Structure 1
């Protein structure tokens, strides 16, 4: 039987408003904390970090009182400070967010996508440093994890890595999504949301190509369609979207509100130009909501046969899809099929694959 493995994990994405990577870290930590023979320490690189309220009691927390921004500047130029000085003693360090610090122990690095390589014009300036930081981390890492087979193949091709060093650990769906019900009318009205709407969930940034969705929605409304477009998530960066007719821009909301908004929507729309996984697609399917998404290999990997796939950037196709959502009743058979498939993606499975990678990394 394997002994207890001491794992330090970068928990910085748990701080502040949760993005998709924050959701990944939260759910992975929770699932790893439930496994035997793992002593897990969540380490946050921040000058003002406090233990997150939703961190399981079984998981230790350590705050490295140095801002991640300053550490990345240092690691761009040197191999100091070593991660042991920040995260304490461990058998393996899991860098959950693109940047693997220098250190003496086994390192595992998660690369969520290659936007900074494929579409550098679509990432925030701070993320362009990944073009240097990720290759440095890849040289240090014993194993590299990705959220999908599509990204695993991209990483192998881009960096000419041995495929045995790169493993896909598909993300899961929190059980609460399967129980999601539409918002009560009072709460829906408080949020300024109508009865008939399509919802987008995610950080509002250029990679998500909201310009195409907004143009398609405007065409839908101009042709007599009545669907409202609801945008949920952090502001991110890029074009200002407020003040458009029939569009409701909401910021970061509690998880229960997000799940209820998705459950009550005619469809979830994901018009992205590029993705590493596409968790909102899976979550919407778990909630029984139809999905309109870009025709990307990774979204087909996640969404299966029940999502509607549309050409990237094709305003006419997206407008027609919105018209269809407004004119037809939900397909209950397709919703049941999608729910069944979504149930095969679990955080427990993600954690088991991740733990296997930890053990293999320490044995290498």
Structure 2
């Protein structure tokens, strides 16, 4: 889609580089991570005269006129999610980046109209400066499905609720455990890092904490579950339930503006603040197809490309 010569991917030295026809990769700098972004990448942009496209919520703070992708501003609007010294430091850092993007970025890109409104309200940004380029689900088409994922865990197709979670406060794993207590005849399978099982060592007997799962295992569990449950408090978009919908699963998501924007009539909605037994409503195939057709990486790339072309045209 991109004409040759317009883009370049800058990466730290030693990175496993993508091979693309029209976009070369350039290895720069001796450091990595945050230092690479703030020093090596910033220096490269200054020397080359290029505009930076920063995809991961942060951008070089000593530059102006770059393009910042801000997926959400949870650090700003949900300070209680980020506790302890590390949480506070992360919040201060990300809020500084949001503020810099609001004041100095050439354009801000985000993943939903909900998130655009949150950015505009929190940092007093004109919404015309914020482009919406949603996420997609088609990456699943390149991923196989582990045929042994269910049998290895003693699961039967259509007989369990499945969630992918973490200890991040917005993921609301406590809701899942409380709902499982209220539904003792249903099996709840929760995938995620070992920290979940370490923190919740005493869980209802009908809850299975299966730890980390591969992409192939996750896809099989989504294909085989009774419903995929996503009781999040806050998201900028919410890719996992969209992936589950693409796998043919019923999806249960939080009754929040962002989830309604993404899933419309293709999901069952629950109150993330009130754990009650799940009253599953199977969506129509038309509603599911409408949601899946609405989102694609090709459409997102096209929107992103048109935005960049508009910037280039107006800057001449």
TM category (shorter chain) comes to 0.7 to 0.9
Q: Contact 2:232 / 2:272 at 8 angstroms: preserved in 1?
A: yes
CA distance in 1, matches of 2:284, 2:142: 15
Q: Is the Cα contact below 8 Å between 1:287 and 1:339 reproduced in 2?
A: no
Residue 104 of structure 2 corresponds to residue 133 of structure 1: no
> 1:27-106, aligned counterparts within 5 Å?
34-37=1-4, 39-44=6-11, 50-51=15-16, 55-58=18-21, 59=23, 60=25, 62=27, 64-70=29-35, 83-85=42-44, 89=48, 91-102=50-61, 106=65
Cα distance in 1 between the residues matched to 2:168 and 2:197: 6
Structure 1 residue 106, shift from structure 2 partner? 4.1
Report if aligned partners of 2:230, 2:252 keep a CA contact under 8 Å in 1.
Answer: yes
2:155 to 164, 174, 194: 194
User: Is 1:270 equivalent to 2:230 in the alignment?
Assistant: yes
By how many angstroms is 1:146 displaced?
0.7
Deviations for 1:214-233, whole angstroms, at most 9, x for unmatched residues?
11112211xxx132x22234
Q: Give the aligned partner of residue 17 of structure 1.
A: none
What 5-or-longer segments of structure 2 have no aligned partner?
A: none
1:344 shift after superposition: 2.3
Q: CA separation in 2, counterparts of 1:40 and 1:243?
A: 52
CA distance in 2, matches of 1:86, 1:65: 16
1:199 aligns to what SS in structure 2? Answer: strand
Q: Give the stretch that moved more between structures: 201-210 or 58-67.
A: 58-67
How far is 1:137 from its partner? 2.9
Q: 1:361 to 1:232 in 2, by over 3 A?
A: farther
Q: CA deviation at 1:335?
A: 4.2
Show CA shifts across 1:258-286 (max 9, x none). Answer: 21211111111111111100111221211
Structure-1 residue corresponding to 2:168: 205
Counterparts of 2:58 and 2:196, CA distance in 1: 22
Distance in 1 between residues matched to 2:238 and 2:124, nearest whole Å: 25
Question: What count of residue pairs does the alignment treat as equivalent?
Answer: 304
1:269 is paired with a residue whose SS is strand
Cα deviation for residue 352 of structure 1 reads 1.4
TM-score, with structure 2 as normaliser: 0.83
Task: Give secondary structure in 2 for the equivalent of 1:214.
Answer: helix
Alpha-carbon distance in 2 for matches of 1:38, 1:343: 31
Assess if the C-alpha contact under 8 Å between 2:160 and 2:226 holds in 1: yes
Mapping 1:141-220, distance limit 5 Å? 141-174=105-138, 176=140, 183-184=146-147, 186-190=148-152, 192-195=153-156, 196-220=159-183
- 1:352 aligns with one of 286, 302, 312: 302
Gap change, CA 1:83 and 1:282, over 3 Å in 2? same
Deviations 1:78-134 (A, max 9, x none): xx6661337973632111111111466741101111110111221344531212222
Distance 1:233 1:140 in 2: 37
User: Normalised by the size of structure 1, how large is the TM-score?
Assistant: 0.73
Which structure exhibits the higher relative contact order, with contacts defined as CA atoms closer than 8 Å and separated by 6 or more residues?
1
Give the match's secondary structure for 2:66. strand
Instruction: After TM superposition, list the pairs within 5 Å mapping 1:255-266 onto structure 2.
Output: 255-266=215-226
CA distance in 2, matches of 1:278, 1:38: 34
Paired residue for 1:14?
none
Report the Cα distance in structure 2 between the residues aligned to 1:311 and 1:232, rounded to whole angstroms.
21
SS at match of 1:288: coil
